[in-house]
Structure 1
């Protein structure tokens, strides 16, 4: 199961960083597009029609360093998280209908 398909990820917005230790992370300190041009590191977040975070890319010096992709159960709880690190290693985490690791 892969949730990193090239399908429409939703609306993209830019952020300075994230907060939280549980998935999905919360992106904070939103940036305007013009503010990204002069930043070395930032997060590009993708949001669905319900304004849920469907994923993000961490960019550093023009390169993608970290990728998170999220999918949700019908009840809005996280169903899966696919995380790809800087080395291209991908980890898929599955969650039950209550959002707990399966």
Structure 2
């Protein structure tokens, strides 16, 4: 997955370019994953592994790329219901087929 895959990435209101921020890691098993330990862009040159995350103008996580030695090892892209509950998660892992998960209005998996 590369930067071109971000075409059309926008928040629930569809407005604006996503803001990019960086993190050391993520936590949890529920989607969307929770990103932890923010880092400044200036600190990236000293890191082999980091997360590049994209947020809309309401600070909603739209997706992230986990970079390891410059290669995207894991990528998530999220879409939300108007209520703010997760609607869809597109997940790509290095050397594996992409997976798309769907969620109902309450954020529960639908099995689609």
* TM-score computed with the length of structure 2 as normaliser: 0.84
| Structure 1 residue 24: Cα displacement | 0.1
| Structure 1 residue 84: Cα displacement | 0.4
Q: Output the CA distance in 1 between the equivalents of 2:108 and 2:49.
A: 31
In structure 1, stretches of 5+ residues that fail to align are: none
* CA shift in 2, pair 1:75/1:83, >3 Å: same
Q: What residue number does 2:8 align with? A: 7
| Structure 1 residue 7: Cα displacement | 2.0
Q: Counting helix residues as a fraction of each chain, which structure ranks higher?
A: 2
CA contact (8 A) 2:9 2:62 kept: no
Question: What is the aligned residue count?
Answer: 99
* Pairs within 5 Å for 1:1-102: 4=5, 6-9=7-10, 10-102=18-110
- Secondary structure of 1:71's match? strand
Q: Counting strand residues as a fraction of each chain, which structure ranks higher?
A: 1
Q: Output the CA distance in 2 between the equivalents of 1:57 and 1:18.
A: 11
Q: Output the CA distance in 2 between the equivalents of 1:88 and 1:55.
A: 18
Q: Deviations over 1:43-72 (max 9, x none)?
A: 001001110110000000000101000000
